Amino acid sequence: MSAALAPLVATGRATRELLAAVGAIARFAGATLGHLLRPPFYPRELGLQLIAIGYLSLPVVGLTALFTGGALALQIYAGGARFNAESVVPSIVAIGMVRELGPVMAGLMVAARVASSIAAEIGTMKVTEQIDALVTLSTDPMKYLTVPRVLAATLAVPVLVGVGDAIGIMGGYLVGITRLGFNEATYIRNTVDFLEFWDVASGLVKGAAFGFIVALMGCYHGMNSGRGAQGVGRATKRAVVASAVMILAANYLLTEVFFTS
Amino acid sequence: MIRLEGVHKAFGANRVLQGIDLAVERGESLVVIGGSGTGKSVLIKCILGLVTPDAGRITVDGLDVRRAEREAFLARFGMLFQGGALFDSLTVWQNVAFRLMRGRERRPRAEARAIAIEKLRRVGLAPEVADLYPAELSGGMQKRVGLARAIADDPAIIFFDEPTAGLDPIMSGVINALIREIVDEMGATAITITHDMRSVREIAHTVAMLHGGLIRWRGPVAQIETSGDPYLDQFIHGRAEGPIEAVR
């Protein structure tokens, strides 16, 4: 093969590998959805995952939302001052949080915390033959490990988004009344008056989609982990990176669908 | 009876199994020996359906493993994994009773716990161990828990993958004796994979040596010293010189 063709060959190989990975993830997602509907179900595992993914993520999501809401208020105030529109701070903070920043920040924080944890746990189970042990004990790893995690994340992340939205708006409110001189009652009225049901609901739907992505990526990369500590480390890194990129891509697509049609 | 006919398995260019023919009678304790990377673990994973052979046929009591209903098929097997493969997030008794608390033959929690504690006692562990987590146990205790899990549902067929790997000689002797007792007591069919010649002599009724992707030698354990097979002789005496290439 001539050296001139080497870049083409490399590009072709990378494209083929990318398409193969997309296909494998799509098959994994399909299998997960199929198992969601067929027994046996593992409610205890689902409960444990709801706590691990939802409840234990509350502090990190809450803190992120609080600071994001505060920073957003400062930015909008500074930007709005250029054309005498400082009064839009409450409404823009509220809309920005519930439509975009709440779901995206919650999704990314859960990706960092949960996708890595799921991939590392399942990857370690794979390299220590615990997945094989599950099979020999007549238990399907997809049903026992993947389905409870994916379902729990899909249910829990919208709740985290809702809580994050409220805390983020509160962050903007605190900055608004303490640093920017807003009247408390006016700030709250402007926040409530400008928010519509679909603003909030669209963010919650995004949260469900992001939760599904995070858990799916964690499980997929864990189940396909390489051998040894390096293999598990690589699976963990891939799960976090893939989750983050897919969350941002899905966010764009969902925004197109929800707000431009 | 377990029967393998012309079983092939390759991982990329690495042709691990190249036409395995092997039969294991009911109640027989077969030990499979062979160098590292010769496909011993792949062999039992093929029987269990954890690895799909590229060619060949595997039957258990005449039933093709690929056509068998998975849950009923796997319910006949118990397996002790090399590293124990205990579930970190579950306590010892929950590990042992894992199968008992799930599936069609599910038992009540209290009954499953009682059976688990009885199986732990059978492998020489006190009831107090039942509520510990695997990470709180020594390597030898983890092997015993793995053994208790393998026999929890009184399986007809038990596989042991390197049962004494990583254990001191005394603990190895204890595990070998336990395996022999349990297999005899239950009348189970057993396939054990090991490099440990002491295990071979203590556990086996028959021995099969895997080399070059094929069963190189097969016979009663009493004949391994007098087989006249240069590969088997080199392996059982641990000689660096001989037909098996030793990487130095």
Tell me what pLDDT residue A47 has: 97
Q: What is the distance between the alpha carbons of residues B14 and B26, in angstroms, rounded to a whole number?
A: 32
**Do B30 and B204 touch, CB atoms closer than 8 A?**
yes
Q: What is the pLDDT of residue A261?
A: 65
Tokens standing for residue B10: 């390759």
A204 lies in a domain?
yes
- The whole-angstrom distance between A68's CA and the closest CA on chain B is 35
Q: Can the peptide bond before residue A40 be classed as cis, meaning omega within 30 degrees of 0? A: yes
Query: Which of B45, B102, B149 lies closest to A139 in CB terms?
Result: B102
pLDDT at position B246:
67
Q: What's the token pair of residue A120? A: 């590392």
Q: Structure tokens of A100?
A: 């975009």
Q: Which of A40, A130, A136 sits opposite B74 (nearest CB)?
A: A136
- B8: β partners: B18, B55
Confidence of residue B242 (pLDDT cuts 50, 70, 90): confident
Task: List the CATH number of the domain containing B169.
Answer: 3.40.50.300
User: Is B60 domain-assigned?
Assistant: no
Q: How many angstroms separate the CA atoms of B76 and A199, rounded?
A: 56
Encoded amino acid at B130, one letter: A
As a whole number of angstroms, the distance between CA A137 and CA B80 comes to 11
Q: Is residue A184 part of a domain?
A: yes
Residue of chain B with shortest Cα separation from A137? B99
d(CA B71, CA B58): 17
Q: Is residue A218 included in any domain, yes or no?
A: yes
- Spans in chain A with pLDDT lower than 70: 1, 261
- Residue A181 domain flag: yes
Question: Are residues A121 and A254 in contact, defined by beta-carbon separation less than 8 angstroms?
Answer: no
Q: Distance between CA A107 and CA A102 in Å, rounded?
A: 8
Query: For residue B187, what are the domain limits?
Result: 27-39+70-237
In a domain, residue A111? The reply is yes
Q: Is the pLDDT of residue B166 over 60?
A: yes
* Residue A1 maps to a domain: no
In a domain, A110, yes or no: yes
pLDDT for the residue B93: 97
Number of domains in chain A: 1
Structural domain containing residue A117: 42-259
Unique residue bearing structure tokens 């269990």: B48
Geometric angle at alpha carbon A154, from A148 and A158, rounded to 5° = 140
For residue A136, the chain B residues in CB contact (below 8 A) are 48, 50, 74, 77-79
What is the rounded average pLDDT of the residues B84-103?
93
Closest partner residue to B74 among A125, A128, A138, by Cβ? Answer: A138
Rounded mean pLDDT, B216-230: 92
B220/A80: higher pLDDT: B220
- For the segment B77-86, the average pLDDT, to the nearest whole number, is 92
Cross-chain CB nearest to A133 (options B49, B81, B102) = B81
Distance CA A60, CA A63 (A): 5
Residue of A nearest to B98 (CA): A137
Cβ-Cβ contacts under 8 Å for B128 (sequence gap 6 or more) = none
What confidence score (pLDDT) does residue B247 get? 55
The tokens for A33 are 């959805």
Q: Give B-chain residues touching A132 at CB under 8 angstroms.
A: 45, 50, 81, 85
Residue B159 lies in a domain: yes
pLDDT in tens, B9-40: 999 999 999 999 999 999 999 999 998 888 99
Structural domains counted in chain B: 1
Instruction: From chain B, pick out residues whose CB is under 8 angstroms from the CB of A138.
Output: 70-71, 74-75, 99, 102-103
Quick one: pLDDT at residue B165? 86
Of A16-25, B28-37, B49-58, B177-186, least confident by mean pLDDT is B177-186
Judge whether residue B146 has pLDDT over 70: yes
Task: Check if the beta carbon of residue A248 is closer than 8 Å to that of residue A149.
Answer: no
Residue pair A82/A165 in contact by the 8 Å Cβ criterion: no
pLDDT at A1: 59
- Between B85, B88, B103, which is nearest A132 by CB? B85
Q: Which residues of B touch A128 (CB under 8 A)?
A: 83, 85
The answer to the question of residue A7 being in a domain is no
Chain A residue at shortest CA distance from B100: A137
Average pLDDT, chain B: 91
DSSP state of A195: -
- Cite the beta strand spans of B165-245 per DSSP E: 189-193, 206-211, 214-220
Q: List residues in chain B touching A: CB distance below 8 A.
A: 45, 48-50, 70-71, 74-75, 77-79, 81-83, 85-88, 98-99, 102-103, 149
Is B90 contained in some domain? yes
CA distance B219 to B30: 9
Q: What is the pLDDT of residue B108?
A: 94
Task: Give the pLDDT of residue B239.
Answer: 86
For the cut 60, the answer to whether the pLDDT of residue B188 exceeds it is yes
Q: What pLDDT is stored for residue B248 in this prediction? A: 52
List the structure tokens of B207. Answer: 């021995």
